Structures are given as C-alpha cells and as structure tokens.
Amino acid sequence: MNQELTASGGRRLTYLRLSVTDRCNLRCRYCMPPEGVPKLDHGDVLTYEEILRLARVGASLGLKKLRLTGGEPLVRRGLAGFIRALNEEGLFQDLRLTTNGILLPEMAASLKAAGVVGLNISLDAVDPAIYAEMVGLPGPAGEKMAGRAWAGFRAALSLGFETKINCVPIRGVNDRQLTALARLALEYPVDVRFIEHMPVGRGRLWEESCFLSAGEILTRLERELGRLEPRPAADPSAPARLYAPANAPGAIGFISAVSAHFCSGCNRLRLTADGKLKPCLLTDREINLREPLRTGASDQELRELFRAAAGHKPVSHLEAKPGDSAPAERGMSRIGG
C-alpha cells in the first residue's frame, strides 16, 4: 500500500507543523486581540505521549520535516524533554521551532541539545518601543520583552541554530523598522522574512489600510538598500521568495500569502494543540484526531484520517470546496502559524 500522503495536483505532503500549545506570553496585534482569546481546557490539549503517537503515525506516512509552534511553544512545560524523546525515535529528518524568542535566553541551549536545528524567531521591530506596540504590551513591560527577544536571537546565533527572523509589517506601526530589520541579513547569516498580514480568524484583526504587500515592501527596501537580486531558495517548497544584496551572509524573504498564492507548492499539514489536523491554514476544515486517539483507534485508522486530511487539501484556499469554509475561524495562535 502507498505509504505517502498526496494531495490534489500531485502535491506530496512531507511537512507537519505541530502546535504544542495555544497559550502565549504576548498579544501581537496581527495575531490576537488585546484581551487575548479563549483558552483551551487543559484536558483538551494533547499530552506529549499523544503527540508522540500521532508523530509516529505521520512519519510512517512520509512526513519528514517537523516544525513545533503554538501559541508560544516555549511556554509549555517539559518541551525540551519532549523534543529529545521525538529525536531519539529518529522520526523526522529535520526538526525546527517557531518562537517569539522571549524564553530563548534560558532555553536555547537545552533546545539545541535536544536536537532542534532551526529557529524562526518573530521580531517585528528593532526599536523597543515599537516592538512593545507590536506585541500588544505598550510601555516598559513590552520594552523589557524586546530586550529578552533580541537576547534570544543572539543566543540562537551564538549556538549555531539556522536562524530566521519573521516580521509581519503593519502600516503606521512597524513599517519604519523594515530597513533596520532587513539590514540584519547584511550582517548575520539569517533570512529576514516579511510575512504579509493574513486575515486569519475571519480577519477581525486585518485592515486593508494597514496592509503592506510584499511588492510594496520590496520597493521600499530597494530604495534604501539598492537593487536586491532574487536568490533561489535551498528548499523549493519553502513559501518565501528570497532576495539578497551582493555578498550578504543572509537573505531577505517575502511570504505573500495574500497578494500572490503559493498553494500549488504547499506540502504541509497542521496539527493543532487540541488534536485537529488542518489541511489548509486559511480554511476551516479540520479532521479530529483527538477523539479517535482517545477512544482506542488503531494506527491504521489514524493513518486513514491523515489520508482524509490530505484528500481535503484544497487546490487553493480561494477555491475551497463547501465544508472548507474559507477564511478560517480560528486565530493564528489557536492554529499554529
């Protein structure tokens, strides 16, 4: 029997993004409302043992690359031990994590020892006051968070993680910081990626007037940094289009899920912290793995559910079928971005 996951258009699914928690220590304005979002009950969140079981099933179907995310993954207790257990089973060739970096100063070394190879760190501004505005904690509390996040970035570099910076540009808030962020790619071996603000969670936090497209950002950066040459990505399925100034150790990337779609190359599935498999970030279709898992489903039955999720992956989120209902109701912190 074919032990691979294939979606429409012949897309082979090899990448799992796994959210370990819906909790977060920030309230980024593009991701969560200032008051936060309702939290999952503890009992609804998959235990590490349950995640391990699903990871084994996913790996048996050809998922090779794993990214842990959240919410903020580093706030979940016991994370490094869980990652060590994952790695000891040798299930995935490539294990990475997306984080806001706040807890990296104390955790980066244990993550490295546990086998994480890459860190994507969300850093929306160099200036501490603007960072504080972006993460929904204006004032000294947010500025202290800026210090921690940037210390986390430095820790990641000094420990030799493959490091990327993620920034969601919002007009009128952090758009004057974009060149300063992009310049980090001239100094360090990091990709600085600008992610278009996506209307996730029914777009309640999305405003057209604040939206900056990848094209506009590129034009603005070229005005200050000179012409940026396109640079091929090491991983052709990666969503970022990369550009690099000559002789730069890093690259500048654009993830343009809104202005230009990359659905035809999408090779990923998402597993939420409460055990729902999502074929597409931008549609509501979810396949519940938690209930079957907790009521004695066999590995074969779980494999069938993974296949069903692959079968429901829309050709594009703009061409979602009835039942997929785009755009997604869950906000990003509850999906796992």
* Tally of CA atoms within 13 A in the half-sphere of 37 that contains its CB: 24
Q: How far apart (Å, rounded) are the C-alpha atoms in residues 256 and 139? A: 31
Q: Which does 197 bind (CB under 5 to 8 A by kind): ligand SAM, ligand SF4, none?
A: ligand SAM
Q: Which does 166 bind (CB under 5 to 8 A by kind): ligand SF4, ligand SAM, none?
A: ligand SAM
Minimum separation from the CB atom of position 59 to ligand SF4 (A)? 26
Size of the site for ligand SAM (CB under 6 A): 19
* Tally of CA atoms within 13 A in the half-sphere of 162 that contains its CB: 10
Burial of 226 (0-12, 13-18, 19+ CB in 10 A): exposed
Q: How far apart (Å, rounded) are the C-alpha atoms in residues 217 and 326? A: 26
Residue where the block lists tokens 């300063």 = 180
Q: Which does 32 bind (CB under 5 to 8 A by kind): ligand SAM, ligand SF4, none?
A: ligand SF4
Burial of 62 (0-12, 13-18, 19+ CB in 10 A): middle
Q: What are phi and psi of 57, to 5 degrees?
A: -65, -45
Residue 85: count of CB within 10 angstroms of its CB: 16
Token readout for 153 is 């970035």
Q: Which does 195 bind (CB under 5 to 8 A by kind): ligand SAM, ligand SF4, none?
A: ligand SAM
**Which residues inside 38-77 make contact with ligand SF4, applying CB under 6 A?**
70-72
Q: Which does 18 bind (CB under 5 to 8 A by kind): ligand SF4, ligand SAM, none?
A: none
Minimum separation from the CB atom of position 159 to ligand SF4 (A)? 21
Minimum separation from the CB atom of position 257 to ligand SAM (A)? 7
Token readout for 148 is 């921690």
Minimum separation from the CB atom of position 25 to ligand SAM (A)? 9
Residue 8: count of CB within 10 angstroms of its CB: 14
Q: Which does 200 bind (CB under 5 to 8 A by kind): ligand SF4, ligand SAM, none?
A: ligand SAM
Token readout for 310 is 């692959």
Binding mask 219-248 for ligand SAM (x = CB under 6 A): ------------------------------
Token readout for 273 is 């912290």
Minimum separation from the CB atom of position 27 to ligand SF4 (A)? 6
174 contributes a contact to ligand SF4 by CB under 6 A = no
32 contributes a contact to ligand SF4 by CB under 6 A = yes
**Judged by CB under 6 A, which stretch of 78-86, 146-154, 197-205, 299-307 contacts ligand SAM?**
197-205
The nearer residue to ligand SF4, 72 or 286, going by C-beta atoms, is 72
Q: How far apart (Å, rounded) are the C-alpha atoms in residues 272 and 276? A: 5
Minimum separation from the CB atom of position 168 to ligand SF4 (A)? 8
28 contributes a contact to ligand SF4 by CB under 6 A = yes
Beta bridge partners of 19: 69
**Which residues inside 15-74 make contact with ligand SAM, applying CB under 6 A?**
24, 30-31, 69-70, 72
The nearer residue to ligand SF4, 73 or 250, going by C-beta atoms, is 73
Q: What are phi and psi of 50, to 5 degrees?
A: -65, -40
**Which residues inside 111-170 make contact with ligand SF4, applying CB under 6 A?**
122
Q: What is the DSSP letter of 290?
A: H
- ∠ CA 275-278-280, nearest 5°, is 165
Minimum separation from the CB atom of position 246 to ligand SF4 (A)? 32
253 contributes a contact to ligand SF4 by CB under 6 A = no
Question: Could you tell me if 142 and 84 are in contact, meaning their C-beta atoms sit under 8 angstroms apart?
Answer: no
By CB under 6 A, name the binding residues for ligand SAM: 24, 30-31, 69-70, 72, 98-100, 122, 166, 168, 195, 197-198, 200, 332-333, 337
